[in-house]
Structure 1
Amino acid sequence: MSARDVIPSSLAEAIDTAAGALEAQVIAWRRDLHQNPELGNREFRTAGVIADHLKQLGLDEVRTGVAFTGVVGLLKGALPGPVVALRADMDGLPVTEEVDVPFASKARAEWNGEQVGVMHACGHDCHVAILMGVAQVLAGLRAQLRGTVKFIFQPAEEMPPEGEEGGAKLMIQEGALEKPVPRAIFGLHVTSRLNVGMVGYRPGPTMASSDRFSIKVHGKQTHGAAPWLGVDPIVTAAQVVLGLQTVVSRGTDITREPAVVTVGMIRGGNRDNIIPNEVEMRGTIRTFAEDMRDEIHERVTTLAESVSRGSRAGCTVCINKNYPVTVNDPALTAAMVPTLQRVAGPGKLELVNKVTGAEDFSFFQQVIPGLFFFVGVTPRGIDPSKTYSNHSPRFFADEQGLLIGVRALAHLTCDYLEAQAGA
């Protein structure tokens, strides 16, 4: 599929008219969802709102309970054509909101055994509202729609609770990409890194893989006044943390691809004059290539074990692969860039840098070609580099970006369907 294959669909003008008329409703949906966020695998109210909406639109099929709370809707156009999928994630984060808006979240819930505030600090409320709007726009154009659209509303993108499965991987296992099988999938993410009106994209590796690691250093407990009588896991853990800084800075070819190794938690001991038996570190590894991913895993393990052994301590390393690299299919991306350019307008489409954040949209892209792009939600006139990022308790989304999201997904869908139907 090449860029010249795709031209504006015959529904382009109708899409923009319908989307514009729906903007206020999309904002209202977003505010309701924002005020009522739910954590991964617990999006019961959110799923109910979505399912009721899709049923009211008269979709041909609305499947609920996919991967616990996921919703999959199917819209068959009146004209023959291929199948395309659109995805939005539904879950909030265990974050207590600090944004002063009338619809701020006051919700609380249990997360991994703790009571926490809950907030849509990553913008998934925007994603759901946008895709609900796209469903309404396209359902209204069913008589002229060429092909079939599968709407995938996904739970637990931010990871399910400990001990549970969930997210895109489980949706795929439970048939979200089957009966019928889409030829391609599109998704978006609102971002504070771009101003309202801007759309960002990147072909190939776009968002990093995400892996969690745990390193436990096993020492020998003793009195803090006589450290020679034991083995100090705190000092050893400190040496491990410092050593891990060299895995990327001195052992990874960052001219090829960037990588990150971060220790985000360290815990050990309970008293100032006791050297404990054990210290645990937890962190994250981010890479953009599978061979580099495996190499860094090996280096982290070898370094931690070797440093510990040199200090007479034991060491247990556990690395769990979470999300693969989000890779935008190069041919699909090149073909759809003219659509994004048309939606964004002159000077508003940006080739963005690689993002070291991760997305489980990547699992869908391992099955079918996919394009994942970004919609700016930082107010105009504010430097995106100086505003609060996604996942912050002060993350703020300018709702003017919602209409661009609706238009982008709807145009991508119809342009793709008509190009493929005519191929």
Structure 2
Amino acid sequence: MNRSDLIAASKQLLLAGAALSCAFGVQADSEIDVKQLSQDIEHQVIEWRRDLHQHPELSNREFRTSKVIKQHLESLGLEVTSNIAHTGVVGILKGGKPGPLIALRADMDGLPVKEEVDLPFASKATDTYRGQEVGVMHACGHDTHVAILMGVAQNLVKIKEQLSGDVMFIFQPAEEGAPAGEEGGAELMLKEGLFANRKPEKIFGLHVTSSMPTGMIGLRAGPAMASEDSFTITVNGKQTHGSRPWNGVDPIVTSAQIINSVQTIVSRQVDVTAAPAVVSFGAINGGIRSNIIPDEVELIGTIRTFDQDMRADIKLRLANSATMIAQSMGASATTKIDQGYPVTVNNPELVAQMKPVLAGVVGDEMLIEPGLITGAEDFSYYALETPGLFFFLGVTPKGTDHTTAPSNHSPRFYVDESALVVGVEALTQLAVTSL
């Protein structure tokens, strides 16, 4: 090969290398070090979390939390809209180049739980819940979700000129459920037009959990968390003296028959090989005295499913069972079902695309596929509108058995704050990869 041929071949190799580099979105002079960005703000994220933890607020009452978020997003120069679904805050970051819109979501409400964790920043807050004064605590980790997303926003603002597209930061109230008589949460944010002007191409969210060790990420494709529906069955009989049951119709015995029969819906009537399901009774209210058979008994319970068709089928079977059994015993039964959150479904294609990204953050050994979770999440509403990915972040410290650690919603729920930077890096990296 002569000198001119060598020069020509070298040019071809350089051009080919440049083409490959562009194809994979990697350029040496614009490489983004997400890990370093996240580590640089770790202390600040922890400080935000501690402040939020010390000042928790109940669903639809997150006034201080909303103000803190709004001030932070405005300080970053984002387009900010507040008072969505009562206290929700949304920030829009415009990337330096044209491209799609993606969304990142954090929930921000606390729970009516009195904190029992010995922390210098433990919650002493109280409020009124269902007519009673209660302690208020971030017993589900929503304080960490807010702090993490505030950090992600700060990261992405620093590199916005390199982003090909825009980011919607959703800080959502009332994930734990709106107070009686009120609307709230993701459903209300969507109802009030969250995605009306421009729908995100995809949405990401996370949830901390004590059921995994610090820094581990759990991600499952397809159905990941259950739907949730609560029900009330009112059984009406005929009051009589306990010594003469034949003179009345006993709603207590009728209720017992209904409870026993309903257990066969899952065990004998639906195909649990297709998807698991749970029907549980949580309360039975009726009668006041040992020798008086009452007129009425109230049964309260919950339905959990991982399939929308099965969900509808079980609700129909529940109502039919209660009605027919009551009639067979001379009583009557009315079933009221309050529809809760849908099944949380992780888009399989999006999971396949982003699983290597999360593995790159924590390592293959720290990325697991968890089992189905019978808890419910209103992130599910967003995932019905656009492809969604919702993952779990372990927060139980080394040396503590995560299988016995106090669970989310416990007054002793504890967060290892070293996990927060992992959440910031993971969400930031998902956004950067998407744009």
Find the aligned partners of 1:247 and 1:99 in 2 and give their Cα distance.
41
* Other structure's SS at 1:385 match: coil
Residue 421 of structure 1 is matched in structure 2 by: none
Note the 1:209-228 alignment, pairs <5 A.
209-228=227-246
Find the aligned partners of 1:57 and 1:341 in 2 and give their Cα distance.
29
- Please, which moves more after superposition, 62-71 or 220-229? 220-229
Residue 270 of structure 1 is matched in structure 2 by: 288
* Other structure's SS at 2:298 match: strand
Q: Which has the higher contact order (CA 8 A, sep 6+)?
A: 1
Contact 1:208/1:287 (8 A) holds in 2 = yes
* Other structure's SS at 1:323 match: coil
| Residues paired across the two proteins, number | 413
Find the aligned partners of 1:117 and 1:372 in 2 and give their Cα distance.
29
Equivalent position to 1:364, from 378, 382, 396? 382
CA RMSD of aligned residues (A): 1.8
After TM superposition, give the deviation of residue 113 of structure 1 in Å.
2.5
Which amino acid counterpart does residue 276 of structure 2 have in structure 1? P
After TM superposition, give the deviation of residue 146 of structure 1 in Å.
2.3
User: 1:130-175: CA deviations, max 9, x gaps?
Assistant: 0011011111222322211100000111110111111101101112
Equivalent position to 1:50, from 66, 69, 86? 69
* Other structure's SS at 2:254 match: helix
Find the aligned partners of 1:241 and 1:356 in 2 and give their Cα distance.
21
Residue 149 of structure 2 is matched in structure 1 by: 131
Find the aligned partners of 1:9 and 1:166 in 2 and give their Cα distance.
46
Which amino acid counterpart does residue 231 of structure 2 have in structure 1? F
User: 1:79-138: CA deviations, max 9, x gaps?
Assistant: 222111000001111222222222222212122333222111111111011001101111
Find the aligned partners of 2:24 and 2:282 in 1 and give their Cα distance.
46
Equivalent position to 1:68, from 86, 91, 95? 86
- Please, which moves more after superposition, 155-164 or 106-115? 106-115
Residue 17 of structure 2 is matched in structure 1 by: none
User: 1:258-307: CA deviations, max 9, x gaps?
Assistant: 10101111111222332221111111101111111111111111111122
* Higher Cα radius of gyration: 2
Equivalent position to 1:280, from 291, 298, 304? 298
TM-score when normalising by structure 2: 0.91
Note the 1:378-393 alignment, pairs <5 A.
378-393=396-411
Find the aligned partners of 2:434 and 2:30 in 1 and give their Cα distance.
12
* Other structure's SS at 2:53 match: helix
Find the aligned partners of 2:258 and 2:403 in 1 and give their Cα distance.
32
- Please, which moves more after superposition, 22-31 or 402-411? 22-31
Note the 1:303-342 alignment, pairs <5 A.
303-342=321-360
User: 1:155-207: CA deviations, max 9, x gaps?
Assistant: 11111011111110110111222333211100001111111121010111111
Contact 1:6/1:336 (8 A) holds in 2 = no
* Other structure's SS at 2:139 match: coil
Structure 1 residues 142 and 331: CA distance shift in structure 2, 3 A: same
TM-score when normalising by structure 1: 0.94
Q: Does 1:178 align with 2:196?
A: yes
After TM superposition, give the deviation of residue 13 of structure 1 in Å.
4.3
Find the aligned partners of 2:234 and 2:66 in 1 and give their Cα distance.
39
* Other structure's SS at 2:364 match: coil
Gaps of 5+ in 1: 418-423
Residue 240 of structure 1 is matched in structure 2 by: 258
Residue 151 of structure 1 is matched in structure 2 by: 169
Residue 18 of structure 1 is matched in structure 2 by: 37
After TM superposition, give the deviation of residue 236 of structure 1 in Å.
1.6
Residue 347 of structure 1 is matched in structure 2 by: 365
Structure 1 residues 10 and 188: CA distance shift in structure 2, 3 A: farther
- Please, which moves more after superposition, 391-400 or 322-331? 391-400
* Other structure's SS at 1:127 match: helix
Which amino acid counterpart does residue 175 of structure 1 have in structure 2? G
Find the aligned partners of 1:247 and 1:136 in 2 and give their Cα distance.
50
Find the aligned partners of 1:86 and 1:66 in 2 and give their Cα distance.
16
Find the aligned partners of 1:354 and 1:265 in 2 and give their Cα distance.
25
Could you list the structure 1 runs, at least 4 aligned residues long, displaced by more than 6 angstroms after superposition.
4-12
Note the 1:23-38 alignment, pairs <5 A.
23-38=42-57
